[in-house]
Chain A
Amino acid sequence: MKVSLNVIRQYIDFELPPIDELVAKINAQLGGVEEVIYLGEKYKDVTIVKVVECEKHPNADKLSVCKIDAGTGELIQVVCGAPNVHAGMWAAWLPPKSVVPASFDDAEPFVLGSRELRGEMSNGMLASARELGIGDDHDGIVEILESDAPKGNNLEVGADFAEIFGLDDYVIDIENKMFTHRPDLFGQLGVAREIAGIFGEQFTSPEWYKTMPEFSDGSGELSLEVFNEAPEKSPRFMAVALNNIEVKQSPLWLKCALIAMGGKPINNIVDATNYIMLITAQPTHAYDYDKIRGGRLGVRMAKHGETITLLNDKTYELTSDDIVIADNEGAIGLAGIMGGGNSEVSPETKSIVLEVANFDMYAVRKSSMRYGLFTDALTRFNKGQSLFQNAYVLNMLMKLTGGMQASEVFDEGNYNDDCTFVSGENISELHASSPHGITTKFINDRLGLALNDQDIERLLTNVEFMVKVDEKGLGIHEPFWRTDIDEPEDIVEEVGRLYGYDRLSLELPLRSAKPTPANAQRELESTLRQVLMRAGANEVLTYSFVHERVLQAANQNKDDAYGLSNALSPDLQYYRLSLTPSLLDKVHPNIKAGHDEFAIFEIGKGHGKSFGTDEDSLPVESEQLAFVYASRHTGEGAAYYRAKVFLEFLASQCGLELAYEPLGGESTSPTVLPFEPKRSAIVTDKTSRLYIGVIGEYKKAVTVNFKLPEYTAGFELDRKAILDLISDVETSYRPLSRYPSVDRDISLKVGASLSYAKVHEALEAALKTGELDTTIEPVSIYRPDDSDTKNVAFHITLTSHDKTLTSDEVNEVIARSVEQLEASIGAEVV
């Protein structure tokens, strides 16, 4: 929202502080200032001059040699190529060494000089509207008329153009977002009021904005019928026809004011509608009366499939949710957003219809989103403009456009049905008839302040609230433009802001000694990342969204993934089903970056349609931990075992004992799909056999797709399963024995296809004698080439709690175990 300080000054009656102080105050009490632009810098050298003499250039047909009076005491010669230059005119002169304002923001601004043009000296130039940056007109120079000057200013030679026309101005750009709930602040008037309020000054709206106009019936020279067939979506639709309209350039002061407020001069009629919008925040529209078919204009819902061509020359096919402005034949404007090209005011226009309407903010927002149309009018309408300023605005607009009122003033809609702003004995028509009841205590409690009734009354009446104080508290009547006051908290905000948040007292809330609850998930996450860091792995974070390519490369089914419908980036198509594919996608870039061996892991979430929904009917979020080990150097044996070491370390640090079962090809869970069934395992809790995750090498195709080194493996675990298991972990502490332990190594020759786990379990069972503690550690697994047997060696530790074990006793235990092993797994001691 661009705010012109010169415009603001027209509405306030106190001196503003220097710009820095003002900006700081606006930042602190109104809204974030994004940019401060000093227009004056751009226009500082532009001088108002009178062309005293003007003669044809002796050596050039199209040039004139002018003598101008710039108030310097002597006449200055300027060569001018404009056809409209003539003696006696007022013009804007850019002296030598000045910068052409239109080029001010260019990388290389155009600096004028004094030079000969075909033998005649020319000092600087007489400027066109385009060169001044106040219009597109480049056919002639700006002719300044006496009527162009704002009221109270006379033209004088040598006068500062910027000062007379208000371009010695600061433009303050305040973030729009701040004003989402404040439609009134999309007009200069509203901002002026707030600026007065934050400086503790009384603001008084101009008479035209608070005196209900009494419209005449008009001459009746133009026949106009106005209809409102959608009062639910357009609660108020005002329109009037004017004739004797002359379409021309706006006076300079108006053009300059538009420029300062971020507008763009077009012609006097369009400029008037824009000017009134920029001042009051109420968008308005002017139609060429003669282009309105059948003398009927009004608002209705679009017919499904109805088409319309707008001012941007694009044609849209509408839906029945769009509000349109229509004449007798069809739609001529998309309400609240953009007018139609076929009813536009043009230089030939002689009669116009002015519209000042209100539209449902939600409906216009939807239409705007539907067609991707964003305009100044929409920015204001989708904040929900007050229904009670239309008449004031229309009255002022009619004065600005000129012309004669040629029809009655129509006011169609249902807004009167629930009008809360009424004239009454004690209530001004500016204010809500029913007050918001609030107490000073309520306000003080929420701000931590100690204001009294009068403090609050003054703060609010400065911005034209009406406040009635009685024994019950405060009765606050908001003015009609304050559509944001619904709750007492809205008044708290108003009081706090106008008083100044920098004056709030800082005080910490008191707390009891009750301990803060712990978050078990977060604690587990912390443990997992600490453990894996100690194992030499690197934690990574990757996006929750993936491209279809990643899912397919990982052998996952994209139909199981939730899709994104509106991502700007083509890489973000689906919610990831599991974390492993994201990690695999990061292996190759790291290899390429020169990392030959590494382990990365991520703690995150997977989502899939097959995971079902939770008690809130929302997709289940699967809390995962994924880990990938990759090395360019092929290690000894299968990479699987390298990943397993990390998993075993993780398990031991969490107090878990794991079991591994061959993955097999049956599971369709997205987490296991990237893994090669023959070289992967389902990981379960050894005792409960509850699922924890999957570990293994990746499918051949997956390896190729992600350009993985051959020696790559990893795992993906369900953190929720781990959390459930570790909360049940019981420490299996055994008191230390007072007697020494005895070690034995044993090597078992078993069938090559017998799994290690079976051998280990059998040995464990065989050693279980009841009185001895045993620990079993693997030492080696040896299988001669192509042999159908293998040797598995273990290191056994036996401990008695009752006595020192003798060699014979130990030998006997071993011998008994060997016998049992022969029977159970056909093992042979070697």
Chain B
Amino acid sequence: MEKFDSIRQSLLERVAAEAVPRDVLKTPQLKELYAGISALPAEERGAYGKKINELKAELEAAVVAREAAMASADIAPIDVTAPWDENTEPQTLLPAAGGTTHPLMREMERLSAIFTRMGFAIEGSREIDDQYHMFETLNFPKGHPARDDYDTFMTVETDEAGDQLIAPAHTSTMQNRVLKKYKKNLEAGEPIAVVVPDRVFRNEDLDARHEHTFYQFEGVYVGRGVHAGMLISTLKSFLEAYYGKQLDVRVNPFYFPFTEPSFEFALSCPFCESQDQACKVCSGEGWIELLGCGMIHPNVLKAADIDPNEFTGFAWGGGIERLVMMKYGIEDIRHFESAKLDFLRQF
């Protein structure tokens, strides 16, 4: 044992002194220690082996620490307050011509601008939220099967209620907050009109058409005498401004827990004017299904302390990637989050 301790001591000293401390890990002395195991009585082998393993781990830690110290000793400090380095010329920016903004962000700004012109306030969403906002306030009771339709990322960590936190699967997670924030509008005789364009998440496998991270724009409009015809008309007006042309629109019944009635909203294909059987955007269907919408469920209004007998409203949610992909003919949704300059510099 004394021998073991002295070997340990000498190896640690070598780690502290040698130019290449990592070499110490390859020393034959360690191998010899291991080889010594077989010479021991069976009942002592376990304890001895453990001791050598501990020594090995100790040496590795010492090597890492020494390496870090050596690396940092080599690093020359600089004068961070200087505009440029000693003995060099002033630095320049890159040519402005090579600069780009992200196509999704550009589109988000564009559609935000249209909605702003239409009288909607723009709000952001969250990337980590609780189930109360994602589900409960949206009329998804705990354990409701409709929750299965949203492949929601959950965290390991839980909130105060002991529920896992979530990465919102839709921007509707902001509905309750914006209804509450702008409720004063209703008291002042003004409607609540908000659009939330932001990042959302679905726990999906990736392919050319599916991303786990994408962008939606949520719309909420609440006031007196608001009806389903206004929902369709508002979205139609937005899309006509967005595409700069007259469009036909269509709603099909759908189910969302947070709207009643609920619709799937489609527009006539603005790319082929619904005329081209071979149109790549609408696949010759003439219609493009773009978003989900509906009249806000009374329970959602109640959750924000708004009386559903006095006020009614509509809401919608749609994807932004889809708009951009159709516009430019982008073939793979995964490009958006790839940070590939070859892709980004085309916009």
Contact = CB atoms under 8 A, between A and B. Distances in A.
A504 B121 contact: no
Given A178-B255, A509-B223, A756 B81 contact: yes
A505 interface: yes
Contact of A178 (B165, B205, B253): B253
Given A509-B221, A595-B341, A516 B100 contact: no
Interface stretch (A95-103, A117-125, A399-407, A533-541): A533-541
A506 B229 contact: yes
Contacts of A638: 78, 85
Nearest to A563: B156
Contacts of B112: 522
A676 B68 CA distance: 12
Contacts of A532: 99
Contacts of A609: 157
A565 B71 CA distance: 37
A572 B80 contact: no
B156 A564 contact: yes
Interface string B163-176: 01101000000000
A445 B225 contact: yes
**Which of B95, B105, B223, B237 has its CB near the most chain A CB atoms (within 10 A)?**
B105
Contacts of A619: 128, 165
Interface string A488-529: 111011001100011011111101101011010110011001
Contacts of B80: 640, 660-663, 679-681, 695-696, 755
Nearest to B121: A517
A501 B266 CA distance: 13
B204 A568 contact: yes
Interface string A342-357: 0000000000000000
B42 interface: no
A535 B99 contact: yes
Contacts of A493: 253, 260-262
B47 interface: no
B252 A662 contact: no
Contacts of B145: 180, 361, 365, 382-383
B43 interface: no
Contacts of B234: 508-509
A565 B156 contact: yes
Interface stretch (A6-14, A278-286, A776-784, A808-816): A776-784
Given A514-B190, A533-B99, A563-B157, A541 B94 contact: no
Contacts of B225: 445
A530 interface: yes
B111 to A, nearest CB: 12
A267 to B, nearest CB: 31
Contacts of A605: 127
Contacts of B78: 638, 640, 678-679
Interface stretch (A228-236, A413-421, A643-651): A643-651
Contacts of A621: 126-128
B46 to A, nearest CB: 32
A155 B260 CA distance: 50
B10 interface: no
**Which of A493, A512, A589, A676 has its CB near the most chain B CB atoms (within 10 A)?**
A493
A567 B143 contact: no
B260 A492 contact: yes
Given A445-B227, A504-B232, A569 B154 contact: no
Query: What class of interface size applies to chain A in its complex with B?
Result: 35 or more
A29 interface: yes
A597 interface: yes
B157 A538 contact: no
Interface string A70-107: 00000000000000000000000000000000000000
Interface stretch (B16-24, B25-33, B272-280, B332-340): B332-340
Contacts of A545: 153, 167, 201, 213
Nearest to A492: B261
Contacts of B167: 544-545, 564, 575
Contacts of A617: 159-160
Given A489-B295, A678-B72, A539 B101 contact: yes
A496 B252 CA distance: 11
Nearest to B233: A506
B228 A446 contact: yes
B197 to A, nearest CB: 9
Given A609-B157, A617-B160, A511 B102 contact: no
Contact of B233 (A27, A507, A537, A649): A507
Contacts of B233: 506-508
A529 B344 CA distance: 14
B143 A362 contact: yes
A678 to B, nearest CB: 4
B341 A504 contact: no
A542 interface: yes
Nearest to B289: A32
Nearest to A496: B261
B226 A756 contact: no
Interface string B76-95: 11111111111111111111
B260 A678 contact: no
Contacts of A661: 80
Interface of B: 68, 71-72, 75-102, 104-105, 109, 112, 116, 118-124, 126-130, 141-146, 148-149, 153-157, 159-160, 164-165, 167, 189-191, 193, 199, 201, 203-206, 212-213, 221, 223, 225-230, 232-234, 236-237, 250-255, 257, 260-264, 295, 297-299, 308, 312, 336-337, 339-342, 344-345
30 contacts: A31-B252, A31-B253, A32-B252, A32-B254, A180-B257, A181-B146, A361-B145, A448-B230, A489-B298, A496-B228, A501-B252, A507-B229, A511-B191, A516-B193, A519-B121, A522-B122, A522-B124, A544-B199, A544-B213, A563-B155, A564-B153, A564-B155, A607-B127, A636-B85, A638-B85, A645-B91, A679-B77, A701-B71, A778-B82, A781-B83
Given A700-B71, A755-B81, 4 more contacts: A501-B232, A621-B127, A640-B78, A645-B93
Interface of A: 27-32, 177-182, 361-362, 365-366, 382-383, 445-448, 487-490, 492-493, 496-497, 501-502, 504-509, 511-512, 514, 516-517, 519, 521-522, 525-526, 529-530, 532-545, 562-569, 572, 575, 583, 586, 589-590, 593, 595, 597-600, 603, 605, 607, 609, 616-619, 621, 635-638, 640-642, 644-646, 648-649, 659-663, 676, 678-681, 695-696, 700-701, 755-758, 760, 778, 781-783, 790
The 5 closest A-B pairs by CB, nearest first: A637-B85, A536-B94, A757-B81, A448-B229, A681-B80
